[in-house]
Structure 1
Amino acid sequence: MVVEKHPGPNGQLFYEGDSPEGHDNPARFDSLKQCFFPYKLEHEQMGWNLDAAYVTDYSSVDYDVSTQGGTTTISSHTAPESFARAKDVQYVVDSEVEGAMGPDFVPFSTQGDAQSFADEYGGEVVSYGDIGEGLLGR
């Protein structure tokens, strides 16, 4: 998987004392809803100690939203400066905008940016601590 070749938000997880299967930290993801958060929750249950988590910050980049074949997606950004700490951003969930693997969570460091995105594309704004199995299963 080449993360930057897929649309949507990206994430990185760094674990203290543990490494993702097959390579060194971080674990990299091209989807937050389908990959990043499920992996994070699974590894918490396994007792892994999360050192840091980063996600694309759409408040810090010039992003594009486009529709092709009836699917609306948001651009991918993988430069280091496009990331923010996952716990410090707000997420738009249940919007019409998809990422690499379908419906996704779209993160913003500015509450107003997140709300504007939700107003335009649907969904609701939630915080990092609100994301658990219930939201992942929607």
Structure 2
Amino acid sequence: MNTFKPNLLVLLMTLLLAVLLSACSKNDEVVQSLHDAVAIESADECHLCGMLISNFSGPKGELFRKGLTQAEGNSVKKFCSTRDMFSFYLDPENKRNVTTMLVHDMSKSPWETPKDQYFIDAHSAWFVAGSIKTGAMGKTLASFSKQKDAQAFAAEFGGKVIDFTQVDLSVLM
């Protein structure tokens, strides 16, 4: 005799559907937290040091923080160099509030005048630390979308190829 009741089956199916929808909504949150790059205007100042961003060569950075909206006008923090962006980000108070970090892909953009259409997600970027190329604040992290491009840059200009997880304060010194 089958003691399994249809109501129990409906309940189990509802719970399974709820779990699946919950997993989908978490993925949607990740996608929604990513932002498009904001153009660097000639009057934009570095959030960390206050220097005019467009006056300097080398890769720039942008980051977005939780809870700040476009309407408030403060959703993006722009930086004159990847070094300044990481210096800001690595502060524990800032790190936990960042949703998106963008850097220039220097395999596609000229060093002297990086182009805004070549911003990439910093979390998936490759960096060259310690090269002879400089940015706004002197030594900076050259950023690339592909490891092979970072390796070619390091072969030409020196430095060590690292990924996002290896960037810490010692690398910035």
TM category (shorter chain) comes to: 0.7 to 0.9
Structure 2 spans left out of the alignment, 5+ residues:
1-44, 46-51
Distance 2:113 2:65 in 1: 24
Distance 2:94 2:125 in 1: 25
TM-score, normalised to structure 1, is 0.79
Query: Given the alignment of the two structures, is residue 106 of structure 1 paired with residue 106 of structure 2, yes or no?
Result: no
CA deviation profile, 1:37-90 (whole Å, cap 9, x unmatched): 011112x335742110000111232x2xxxxxxxxxx323142x2100001110
What CA RMSD, in Å, does the superposition of the two structures yield over aligned residues?
1.9
* More helix per residue: 2
Shift of 1:14: 0.0
Shift of 1:131: 0.3
Q: Which amino acid aligns with 2:125?
A: V
Of 94, 107, 114, the match for 1:77: 114
Query: Given the alignment of the two structures, is residue 115 of structure 1 paired with residue 165 of structure 2, yes or no?
Result: no
After superposition, the Cα gap between the structure-2 partners of 1:4 and 1:130, relative to the gap in structure 1 and judged at 3 Å, is same
Structure 1 spans left out of the alignment, 5+ residues:
64-73
Equivalent residues in 2 for 1:18-97, closer than 5 Å: 18=68, 24-33=74-83, 35-42=84-91, 44-45=92-93, 48-61=96-109, 63=110, 74-79=111-116, 81-97=117-133
CA contact (8 A) 1:18 1:48 kept: no
TM-score, normalised to structure 2, is 0.64
SS in 2 for 1:87: helix
Structure 1 outlier segments of 4+, above 6 Å: none
Taking every aligned residue pair, what percent have the same amino acid on both sides?
Answer: 29
CA contact (8 A) 1:11 1:28 kept: yes
SS in 2 for 1:134: helix
Shift of 1:99: 0.5
Larger Rg: 2
CA contact (8 A) 2:89 2:95 kept: no
After superposition, the Cα gap between the structure-2 partners of 1:47 and 1:5, relative to the gap in structure 1 and judged at 3 Å, is closer
Q: What is the aligned residue count?
A: 121
Distance 1:114 1:8 in 2: 14
